[in-house]
Structure 1
């Protein structure tokens, strides 16, 4: 089993967020660190602070040297795919090739309504997402990219400099929709991330992913399957470790430990020691 951490950029400060990621960089058991892409907090006071995802991600990449960095996951509706591709290439360069490019179709109606960002109906949103992923891959891998979609068009488009990682930073697609999301994972992703109540909810989704991969002629073993385990402040550490172990037994490759909100860096040492027997 492999492990990662995730922090919440809501109701916190840059210094607190940075200190945890810098500390996690010293623990080899944590292969990557993640946060989310939202403009409002998801809990508590919606008018409270929430650090923007990609500017902090680039800064956290500069503040660390080993751990891989990613956003779980970037809402495609928030940024034009060409803009996001350029952001990803630059962040991969800043991190010396440690970016995990997490993307999803987007869903937060509160944010989109407040900012005047269009939130299309679900089918159109996933049509836009599919085109967006294809367009980003073209920009990240081709010297000159052209794409003629219904929603995304590229005409002799450049994305320079290219990312460090080739052919492009690994793509993580988040979600559990059986028809559109998991098919998109089978087509493009190097990692699939999902949040579910437990292993018994994850297993049938994995089987659907296997079926999509079979249809497309892709080896599902090429895709890292990851899940999140949320740690609560008043929860015994053993409970979170047991949940991670159960996912491992079910066949999950990577467990992302969602740290308690504003947990200090000192939480990492006992967590790393408790997870070590499972690694």
Structure 2
């Protein structure tokens, strides 16, 4: 089993989140660190602070040296895919090849309404997402990219310099929609992340993913399957470790430990020691 951490950039400070990631960088059991892509907090006071994803991610990449870094996951509706591809390439360079490129179709109606961002109906949203992923891959891999989609068009487009990782930074697609999301994972992703309530909910989703892979001629073993385990402030580490262990027994490859809100760096050492026996 492999492990990662995730911090919530809501109701916290840049300094606190930076210090947690720097601390996690010292523990080899944590292979990656993640945060989310939202503009408003998802809990508590919705008018409270919430740090922007990609500017902090680039800074966190500079502040760390070993741990892989990613956003779980970037809402495709918030940034044009060509802009996001350039952001990803630059962040991968800043991190010296440690970026995990997390993407999803997007869902937050409140943020879209507040900022005047269009949130299309579900089918169109996933059509745009599929085109966006293909356009990003083209920009990250081809010297000159052309793409003629219904929603995304590239004409002799450059993304230069390229990312350090080739052919491109590993793509993580988040979500559990059985028809569109899991098929997109089978087509393009190197990691599939999903938030579920239990291993029993995860297992049939993995079977659907395997089915899509078989239809597309993709080896499902090429895709890291990750889930999130949330550590609440009133929960013991033993409870979280037991939950992580159950996912490992179900076949999950990577468990991402969601740290308590505004947690101090001191949580990392006892968490690493608690996870070591099941690693």
TM-score bin (small chain):
over 0.9
Query: What does residue 214 of structure 1 align with?
Result: 214
Partner SS state of residue 161, structure 2:
coil
Post-superposition shift, 1:18?
A: 0.2
Post-superposition shift, 1:187?
A: 0.1
Distance 1:11 1:237 in 2: 22
1:11-22 aligned at under 5 Å gives the runs: 11-22=11-22
Partner SS state of residue 155, structure 1:
strand
Query: What does residue 197 of structure 2 align with?
Result: 197
Structure 1's unaligned 5+ residue stretches are none
Query: What does residue 102 of structure 1 align with?
Result: 102
Distance 2:51 2:264 in 1: 18
Distance 2:10 2:47 in 1: 10
Structure 2's unaligned 5+ residue stretches are none
Query: What does residue 38 of structure 1 align with?
Result: 38
Query: What does residue 241 of structure 1 align with?
Result: 241
Distance 1:134 1:22 in 2: 33
Give the number of equivalent residue pairs.
279
Post-superposition shift, 1:23?
A: 0.3
Is residue 51 of structure 1 aligned with residue 13 of structure 2? Answer: no
Partner SS state of residue 85, structure 2:
helix
1:112-191 aligned at under 5 Å gives the runs: 112-191=112-191
Partner SS state of residue 55, structure 1:
helix
Distance 2:146 2:278 in 1: 46
Post-superposition shift, 1:34?
A: 0.1
Deviations 1:206-254 (A, max 9, x none): 0000000000000000000000000001101110000000000000000
Pairwise CA RMSD: 0.3
Post-superposition shift, 1:175?
A: 0.1
Distance 2:235 2:10 in 1: 20
Distance 2:269 2:22 in 1: 13
Distance 1:105 1:267 in 2: 32
Distance 1:272 1:119 in 2: 40
Deviations 1:120-168 (A, max 9, x none): 0000000000000000000000000000000000000000000000000
Distance 2:31 2:250 in 1: 20
Q: TM-score scaled by structure 2?
A: 1.00
Distance 1:14 1:219 in 2: 40
Partner SS state of residue 183, structure 2:
helix
Q: TM-score scaled by structure 1?
A: 1.00
Post-superposition shift, 1:184?
A: 0.1
1:229-268 aligned at under 5 Å gives the runs: 229-268=229-268
Query: What does residue 227 of structure 1 align with?
Result: 227
Post-superposition shift, 1:258?
A: 0.1
Post-superposition shift, 1:22?
A: 0.3
Post-superposition shift, 1:257?
A: 0.1
Query: What does residue 270 of structure 1 align with?
Result: 270
